Amino acid sequence: MRPVRIYDTRTRETRRLVPRVPPKVGLFVCGLTPYDDAHLGHGKLAVTFDVVARTLRRFGYRVFYVQNVTNLDDKVLRRAGELGLDPLTLSERYFRGWTGAMERLGVASVNYYPFATDYVPEILAQIQALIDRGYAYAAGGSVYYSVARFAPYGELSGQRVEALRPGARVAVEPEKRAPEDFVLWKAASPGEPTWESPWGPGRPGWHIEDTAITVRLLGARYDLHGGATDLKFPHHEAEIAQAEAATGEAPLVNFWMHAGLLTTQGEKMSKSIGNVSSLSDAIEAWGPEVLRFYYLNAHYRSPLDFDPARSLEESREAYATLEGAARRLREGSQASPPGEEGLPPAEGRAIEALLERLDELMADDFRTREAIALLFEHGRRVSEFLPKLPALNAEAREALAAPYAWALEVLGLCPVRPGSAEGAGGVEAALNARERARGRGDYAEADRIRSDLNEGGIVVEDGPGGARWRRAGPSEP
RNA sequence: GCCGAGGUGGCAGAAUGGUUAAUGCGACGGACUGCAGAUCCGUUUCCUGGGGGUUCGAUUCCCUCCCUCGGCUCCA
């Protein structure tokens, strides 16, 4: 296991990850409430922790990555009411949409998506434990957490309860003993799915599901908790209060990792604001790698401002440069059998050093932007060797390709796409016809053939070795 | 009001107590091309919010102010 340093929000320091049970690492990421389509902000979070999991696995950690699904809450209920659907059917449908988008985005690192409503027994037990220990009280068929009873409350976010502004966003429930208390169990309302409980029929509060699930799946203490910064308070604060009070063990997690928000025109991208861009649409229009590149082109903790008019346009251009070098290397290697020459020793060493540096960057709180910068620099090396490629032996070719294999494994960029042979004969024939037209100076005909190919999604690039072609990416004109 | 995160070139966005502050996009010039594109080379010399302080040296550390965003118990 390579040592990895991670920034922890709670202690506000970057320190080495020491798994509680090496080489296992428990990773929990919250924030999936399937009541509508995923947007670009969700994509950023998903790619962030996908890369965290990929990196740790590369370094020899056995990551168990859990992402919970809040399949029943106020928003699900409201939306279901609007659409006239059963709430659990609605959330199931949007969850499928979510996993479909994740699959296309290349996010395959999540081991398990537990549904909140499958953990009602655990939730009831945890609430009971909190009541027994004096941290919670029943009132009017609901159960509330008594924040005043938990001394470390506010440690994660730096908030002092006295300084809060009650009712800033959410109306204060009159049954609460104190405005900062939060609901663990919600008394049943007509028409809602409900479960029996010692306090009457009802359903789980939002915060409790996470800790009921994590205590069950990851233990009373675990390694990494991820989420976006907007959940730091109150949600993550509540998780600490619940779990540590219920189990008597602390700290709940060793590292609180908070990803910067995706904003757009200076505002958080959010359904309530209504400024969302659909994740699925963006994947469709730009391709998954352009999106991943966009997200990873900044540090995960930084806020990222999405400009619909240019952000992905710019990422597409940049990614095309990065991926183009990888592709030309691959195609060039396929086009000629390996030769006899090795790489100059200095170059071989430089690539070794590059690979080591890439791992070092990731091991230092996941510095993806700098890793990408190094991959661009490697692209220039590849360009330099491209003309000499036919003479290079297999080992040299592999060394040149190694950084791209790294990029694929860790960042999910520069995948090897098997060149589709389908229709290739027709393209070759068209290119030959175009060459003949060019040969006799009939440029009108040559350009017509080229634009026909463009229409068919084939990009023609004339180079020193003659015309080459490739299939256009999803968003290339 | 309080808590948190930010403010770096035309734009996006890294990093660092110390020679020219990455990388990319864009722009411009050149090579190659019938043209375009791709690629390569070069240029884009005075870019670190304001003001103090510590230091031989601050963009980095400290104080203060301004601005933006997030949160304040349903928001990834």
pLDDT of A199 over the 80 cut: yes
* SS3 assignment for A439-469: HCCCHHHHHHHHHHHHHCCEEEEEECCEEEE
3-state secondary structure of A475: coil
Å: A378 CA to B26 C1': 22
pLDDT in tens, A138-186: 998 999 999 999 999 999 998 888 888 776 666 667 788 998 999 999 9
Q: Tell me the domain boundaries of chain A.
A: 5-306, 311-411, 424-471
Is the CB of residue A148 inside 7 Å of nucleic acid strand B? no
Confidence bin at A130 (pLDDT 50/70/90) = very high
3-state secondary structure of A124: helix
For domain A5-306, which CATH number applies: 3.40.50.620, 3.30.1370.10, 3.40.50.300, 3.90.960.10? 3.40.50.620
Q: Tell me how far apart the alpha carbons of residues A266 and A244 are, in angstroms, rounded to a whole number.
A: 36
Beta pairing partners, A143: A138, A185
Å: A351 CA to B18 C1': 29
Q: Tell me how far apart the alpha carbons of residues A476 and A286 are, in angstroms, rounded to a whole number.
A: 8
Could you tell me which residue, A430 or A226, shows the higher pLDDT? A226
Å: A27 CA to B5 C1': 23
Range scoring the smallest mean pLDDT among A91-100, A164-173, A326-335, A342-351: A164-173
What is the reported pLDDT for A200?
Answer: 93
Residue with tokens 């655990």: A122
Q: What would be the CATH architecture of the domain defined by A311-411? A: Up-down Bundle (1.20)
What is the reported pLDDT for A412?
Answer: 96
pLDDT of A115 over the 70 cut: yes
pLDDT in tens, A241-296: 999 999 999 999 999 999 999 998 878 898 878 889 999 999 999 999 999 999 99
pLDDT of A344 over the 70 cut: yes
3-state secondary structure of A113: coil
Beta pairing partners, A183: A144
Å: A80 CA to B24 C1': 44
Pairing of strands A182-187, A202-204: antiparallel
Q: Tell me how far apart the alpha carbons of residues A310 and A315 are, in angstroms, rounded to a whole number.
A: 8
Is the CB of residue A369 inside 7 Å of nucleic acid strand B? yes
pLDDT in tens, A283-323: 999 999 999 999 999 999 999 999 998 899 999 999 999 99
Pairing of strands A262-264, A136-139: unpaired
Is the bond leading into A166 cis (omega within 30 degrees of zero)? no
Point out the residue nearest to B70 (C-alpha to C1'): A230
Q: Cα angle vertex A181, ends A176, A184, to 5°? A: 90
By C1' distance from the Cα of A78, the closest nucleotide is B74
Å: A233 CA to B67 C1': 24
* Chain B bases near protein CB atoms (7 A cut-off): 1-6, 11-15, 22-26, 32-41, 68-76
Residues for chain A: how many in total?
477
Q: Are A23 and A4 in contact (CB under 8 A)?
A: no
Å: A339 CA to B47 C1': 47
Q: Which window residues (83-142, chain A) lie with Cβ within 7 Å of strand B?
A: none
By C1' distance from the Cα of A318, the closest nucleotide is B24
What is the reported pLDDT for A473?
Answer: 67
Q: Tell me how far apart the alpha carbons of residues A434 and A444 are, in angstroms, rounded to a whole number.
A: 10
What is the reported pLDDT for A423?
Answer: 59
Residue with tokens 């998954």: A288
- Mean pLDDT across A185-206: 92
pLDDT of A463 over the 90 cut: no
Q: Which window residues (318-357, chain A) lie with Cβ within 7 Å of strand B?
A: 318, 320-321, 324-325
Q: Within 10 Å of residue A418's Cβ, how many Cβ atoms?
A: 5
Is the CB of residue A360 inside 7 Å of nucleic acid strand B? no
Confidence bin at A37 (pLDDT 50/70/90) = very high
Confidence bin at A474 (pLDDT 50/70/90) = low
What is the reported pLDDT for A103?
Answer: 95
Is the CB of residue A30 inside 7 Å of nucleic acid strand B? yes
What is the reported pLDDT for A332?
Answer: 87
Å: A126 CA to B51 C1': 53
Å: A149 CA to B39 C1': 66
A5-306 and A311-411 have identical folds: no
Residues 6+ apart with CB under 8 A from A240: A152, A153, A155, A156, A251, A252
Q: Are A143 and A131 in contact (CB under 8 A)?
A: yes
Q: Tell me how far apart the alpha carbons of residues A276 and A263 are, in angstroms, rounded to a whole number.
A: 10
What is the reported pLDDT for A419?
Answer: 53
Å: A296 CA to B44 C1': 26
Q: Tell me how far apart the alpha carbons of residues A263 and A254 are, in angstroms, rounded to a whole number.
A: 28
What is the reported pLDDT for A169?
Answer: 64
By C1' distance from the Cα of A468, the closest nucleotide is B38
